Amino acid sequence: MGLTHCMKRPVEILYKRLIRPVSHGHSSASITHKGFLFTTLSERNAAGVPNYSECINGFGIHFTRNYASEASSSEQVNLIKQLRERTSAPMKEVKSALVACDWDIEAAQNELRKRGVALASKKSSRTAAEGFLALAQDEKKAILVELNCETDFVARNEIFQHLALCLAKSALVIEGSPQASATIPVSPESLEDLKINFDHPKLTGEKTVQNAITEVTVMTGENVKLGGGFAISAPSYGVLATYLHTSPMPGIGRIAGLLSLEVEDKDSPLDAVQRVGSQIAMHLVAAKPLFLSKEDVTSDALGNERDILRSQAEKTGKSQMAIDKMVEGRLRKYFEEVVLLEQKFIVDDSVNITKVLANLSQEVGSTVKIRNFLRVEVGEGAKRLEAASGTEPLSQTA
């Protein structure tokens, strides 16, 4: 009996609160909770008394979704799906834009584009160390462009990869031919205002690079940014060989190896040069050389390595003459690790790259030289551009 009485009191209190007139002049009261709108009936009989004959559970409460439009639930789901297909924007952003625009899909699409600038600005401070390198080349040069994002999940997105390839192809057209003995950096700023005519279903029409990046940022929900790039020239006569590692599609990869092989005799066939050049480009990715020849090793790098090796040798307690010999012997090992021409060939480790070039020269009947080379990984673009701003060359000539 006491328990029944206690249960009735909260129900009576709820009932009285719900039927209490509200201050805005209507005869209904409402409570909003977790996205639902709870309302009392607003119909009254001739005496002005609320009619609760249609009440749910007798308490005069209706349950309705709090939408800004009269669109039915099925229509709303369909509109969300359509706008998602058009823009690839996150579900939360799509629904928010549709609600704000009273479920007008065209207005919502424009709203998403307007929000994109602010959204991209908010995300720009977040670290974007993933992404891909995009490669484009013609008979005169090759261009490598880095496009970054926050996760490899977005990097695998077809729109992200389409944007990266478009950037590389467009940069190939506008960039002048680099000098024969150098690799030229391409700064992000030099590409941001470039206009590209995109033809992807979700990225269409003429846009600047910066605007396209902003749109892809909205679509993916991550910080997408241009990491810059590099241009490497083809030799006067020879082959410009390239290799992309971890490549989900042609022209896209996470690690790139590029090199220019010059043939002295312009009448020599290039088939063998192309074959060996492709192998050496793959070697660049695997062996990670820092310099082309021993003469190209910087004095700072050589001095630092020599100090480390001497410190290690002195711990043996041997004579100074023995220590000097140990240091020189270990320096030869260092050169084999960081100098391209001294490295063991990954295809046949019984020979080094110098010997590979000698054998190739004999095969084609003319001297073949590596004019310059480049190895880049995703995430290295910015560091390489910083190095390029100094006096240090990006590549050397043999």
Of the candidate ranges 20-29, 245-254, 386-395, the one whose mean pLDDT is the lowest: 20-29
Q: 73-123 and 130-297+339-388 share one CATH topology?
A: no
What's the residue count for the chain? 398
Query: What's the chain's average pLDDT?
Result: 79
The separation between the first and the last C-alpha atoms of the chain, rounded to the nearest angstrom, is: 101
What pLDDT score does 333 carry? 92
Residue 29 has pLDDT above 70, yes or no: no
Q: Which residue has the tokens 């328990």?
A: 3
pLDDT digits (tens, 9 = 90+) for 355-390: 999 999 999 999 999 999 999 999 876 666 666 554
- pLDDT confidence band for 30 (50 / 70 / 90): very low
CATH class, domain 130-297+339-388, is alpha beta
Which residue type sits at 204? T
386 vs 261 pLDDT, higher one: 261
- pLDDT confidence band for 44 (50 / 70 / 90): very low
Q: What is the mean pLDDT of the segment spanning 95-124?
A: 75
Q: How far apart are CA 265 and CA 258, in angstroms?
A: 22
Residue 56 has pLDDT above 60, yes or no: no
Closest to 340 (Cα-Cα) out of 263, 376, 377, 286: 286
What pLDDT score does 122 carry? 58
What pLDDT score does 34 carry? 41
Residue 108 has pLDDT above 50, yes or no: yes
pLDDT digits (tens, 9 = 90+) for 289-306: 999 999 999 999 998 988
What pLDDT score does 139 carry? 87
113 vs 298 pLDDT, higher one: 298
What pLDDT score does 255 carry? 96
Residue 257 has pLDDT above 90, yes or no: yes
What pLDDT score does 43 carry? 46
Closest to 242 (Cα-Cα) out of 118, 381, 133, 146: 133
Residue 48 has pLDDT above 70, yes or no: no
Q: What is the mean pLDDT of the segment spanning 141-166?
A: 93
Residue 24 has pLDDT above 50, yes or no: no
- pLDDT confidence band for 254 (50 / 70 / 90): very high
Q: What is the mean pLDDT of the segment spanning 108-129?
A: 67
Residue 13 has pLDDT above 90, yes or no: no
Architecture of the CATH domain 73-123: Orthogonal Bundle (1.10)
What pLDDT score does 382 carry? 61
The residues spanned by each domain of the chain are: 2-65, 73-123, 130-297+339-388
Task: Give the highest mean pLDDT range of 17-31, 83-97, 263-277.
Answer: 263-277
